Amino acid sequence: MISYTTPVISKFGTLKNCICSLFIATALVTAGEASASTKKQVKKAAHSAAPVAKKDESHFQQWKEVSSFIDSMVSKHGFTEAELKATFKQVKYIETARQLMRPAPPGKPKNWKAYRARFVEPYRIEAGVAFWDKYADALAKAEREYGVPPEIIVGLIGVETIFGKQTGGFRVMDVLTTLAFDYPDTPTRDARMQFFRGELENMLLMARESSLDPFVFKGSYAGAIGWPQFMPGSIRKYAVDFDGDGKINLTDSPVDAIGSVAHYLSMHGWKRALPVAFPATLVVAEKSEQLNTALGKGLLASYQLQDLKAIATTASVEAPTTIQYGLVDLQNGNDATEYWLATENFYAITLYNRSYFYAMSVYDLGRVIAAARQK
């Protein structure tokens, strides 16, 4: 059995304003959904504030919902009631994590250019070139095994954690428990609590499988861990021992992170040698029914290029005519919206984080780093 090694906290900052993870498919504040100013405030809070615990709500082992969760873990996975009660007695309620999960207040319109500038910037580009040079062999191996090119892996890790420099300082058990049983009052509260209870279950299983104290795992305010910001469930399902040392370590092994990102994308629809996206020009008027229908397809490439010609076209001669596309809009505040024809590989990135802004930032950062490396 592959085991997980004890994570080590990054020396850079105490908290991580994770844009992923998820997320993560949807575990975090959705990338690109808030204004740039709001996101900047969240980022500042996540990096500068210490985790805040509400003392009057910190005794999780006394909560009825937690007792039910413990009973479930005992019956499903063979934990003992006593050990889990002792574990939850050590958990701290993290108000900071709860507050950072609140939806951003209404503000400025979405702005792709402002969002992109936060990630495709000189520091990440320089760090990305160095990372690529140092781990070129592992990146080449990941492409051979999983079909994911280096620029996508490099772009994703660069967006997530600036190549391991911002991996988070929360105890994962604390934030997962807080969010699993006291998620903020939002329209999706019940679904989000169910998600985090599932991740809490995976966290306890991962710790047991590794014979590790669950409190040694550190991560983002949503519980994402390591260089690629995987949630515990994703670690158990998609992380790989890519450096061959018999252990999975997404915090201290960039090689494991590289292989795990490639494996994750390959399992979520990435196709070898398929392009990602092509800039497009609208043929129809904005807000037309045809346009709204095409944009309403969601995270799906369902059009042939010929079918889209009545809605949007691309000047790129490199766009294959034999594959499927979706239409993506990148809003620019008061400026003109950008439109792109996205392939299945673009949508595979959105399954790492369900945001067009996020996926395009990964794609752009990787391309810019590749170009800088050639120079």
Q: Which of 143, 151, 160, 344 is catalytic?
A: 160
120-163+271-374: CATH architecture: Orthogonal Bundle (1.10)
Active site residue 338: no
The model's pLDDT over 139-192, given as tens digits with 9 standing for 90+, comes to: 999 999 999 999 999 999 999 999 999 999 999 999 999 999 999 999 999 999
> What are the φ and ψ backbone dihedral angles of 74, each rounded to 5 degrees?
-70, -45
Nearest to 293 by CA among 303, 279, 281: 303
Sign of the dihedral defined by the CA atoms of residues 35, 39, 42, 48, in that order: negative
CA angle 88, 91, 96 (to 5 degrees): 145
Q: Residue-wise pLDDT tens for the chain (375 aa)?
A: 456 764 433 322 222 333 343 333 333 333 333 333 334 444 444 443 445 545 445 589 889 999 999 999 999 999 999 999 999 999 999 999 999 999 888 877 899 999 999 999 999 999 999 999 999 999 999 999 999 999 999 999 999 999 999 999 999 999 999 999 999 999 999 999 999 999 999 999 999 999 999 999 999 999 999 999 999 999 999 999 999 999 999 999 999 999 999 999 999 999 999 999 999 999 999 989 999 999 999 899 999 999 999 999 999 999 999 999 999 999 999 999 999 999 999 999 999 999 999 999 999 999 999 999 998
Which helix (H) or strand (E) segment is 284 a member of?
A: none
Place of tokens 């904005």: 286
Q: Domain coordinates of the chain in residue numbers?
A: 120-163+271-374
Residue length of the chain: 375
Q: pTM for the complete prediction?
A: 0.87
Distance, CA of 294 to CA of 278 (rounded, Å): 16
